[in-house]
Structure 1
């Protein structure tokens, strides 16, 4: 699979960082010595953590080589490792595992979450934010366009494999037996973007990658043109030309 596009991801850094700040604001008081930033991306969430906490060690984990390269350049005092978060195991227990917009890419959360909690010291915290967008128009249209064109044979397996994350009730059931306290909530962010091309840019560096990865350049252009036409009907432009991207995100903070 092609690597993530750091430039496209960082084009919307301010919008993406808001969810990280909101997640951090709900973490109970800690004086952490060791923090792990799971799915650290280009280091934007790690930078927020480094400003908020004065700790001995911040470790960022991401499976994208380009993201790790950008994170190291951005925050040289931290340690960044290229690894799959679902397979990662720490050398010693940590105080805070922070996962902003990352673990929805990993399967089997009912198994993953107890494992992550086991990596925490007593009183440690697992703080997670995930887009909860499988049914929103932009993601539904990706899957619809994937099975409505000459690329159907290539893309139908991708469209059918997009797993939904659990419900809030699921996460409570998976977390509560292992923790002292769990705080769960959902927020819908509204991002005014500069037209439908920016909606595509928002997803081109992330959710669209598995589709585009299976297409050649001409097919990718045709797929995106079809996708754009569908977006124009689903997301009507405002009087000022902006397009409002409604983006629901699920959060939880669990303390062991």
Structure 2
């Protein structure tokens, strides 16, 4: 992580490097995180071959990649991710032959530069492309890497103006934290609106199905929204603060108090609205 101080005491935004991921923390809310992927799978049309070749971009700990083998038992599936921690968990838990005669394997790749090395029947991504500012520019080569009749499908978080993220961005820019964390809380500027994704795919000659959903998730336990973002949006901040335990505890305490006000606990839990955008683009035969 780099943090620079400009002249006259004004902090210049730091450039966040790849965050360190914690698969166990991420999986604490696996049920809510998996539901959008299951909703996406229901809208993916029939693939062009009976034993399809599938790429999962941003596979994380592999739990949703394994769901692809349930849907397409004969598929040869590769999950790609940049995080060594996530890939280690995915490989240990899921790599190998599948019950239907297919296979699962996992490889390290930066999605910003990934290109199909062979024809694919399906390229899919679950809650990963928000970490790839250049992802709309990759649509053309990814679509070109599909067999005729193949599909590119993804779902992406679109809640970056919600209190959970707005409060995080504001806290990172506060005088106490600006020199270390400026720029680490705002990562939503490259997320397109549904109509923009639709335009991109229709311009590429695809049959496109684009929609959005806001899930009103009921989270349980103490400070559940903080626990949720510890697995995702907070990762760049926690990576930047590193082993400075005092700073980590202080930052989390300030952020926790803001979240408690924004997301008050009710008698049955804490409601956490979460907007997501979905896209299914089929390459014409």
Short-chain TM bin: over 0.9
Per the TM alignment, residue 116 of structure 1 is displaced from its structure 2 partner at its CA by 1.3
Per the TM alignment, residue 195 of structure 1 is displaced from its structure 2 partner at its CA by 4.3
Unaligned runs of 5+ in 2: 1-17, 97-103
Residue of structure 2 in register with 1:109 after alignment:
135
Greater displacement, 63-72 / 198-207: 198-207
Give me the TM-score of the superposition, normalised by structure 2.
Answer: 0.85
2:214 to 188, 196, 216: 188
1:17 to 29, 34, 47: 34
RMSD over aligned CA atoms reads 1.5
Residue of structure 1 in register with 2:83 after alignment:
64
Greater displacement, 136-145 / 107-116: 107-116
Contact 1:134 1:164 in 2 (8 A): no
Superposition map of 1:130-209 within 5 A: 130-160=156-186, 162-195=188-221, 197-209=223-235
Contact 1:38 1:85 in 2 (8 A): yes
Residue of structure 1 in register with 2:101 after alignment:
none
SS in 2 for 1:11: helix
Alignment of 1:250 with 2:277, yes or no, is: yes
Change (3 A) 1:132 1:196: farther
Superposition map of 1:43-82 within 5 A: 43-77=62-96, 78-82=104-108
State how many pairs are aligned: 255
Per the TM alignment, residue 32 of structure 1 is displaced from its structure 2 partner at its CA by 5.0
Contact 2:58 2:81 in 1 (8 A): yes
Residue of structure 1 in register with 2:146 after alignment:
120
Per the TM alignment, residue 171 of structure 1 is displaced from its structure 2 partner at its CA by 0.6
Unaligned runs of 5+ in 1: none
Contact 1:36 1:98 in 2 (8 A): yes
Give me the TM-score of the superposition, normalised by structure 1.
Answer: 0.94
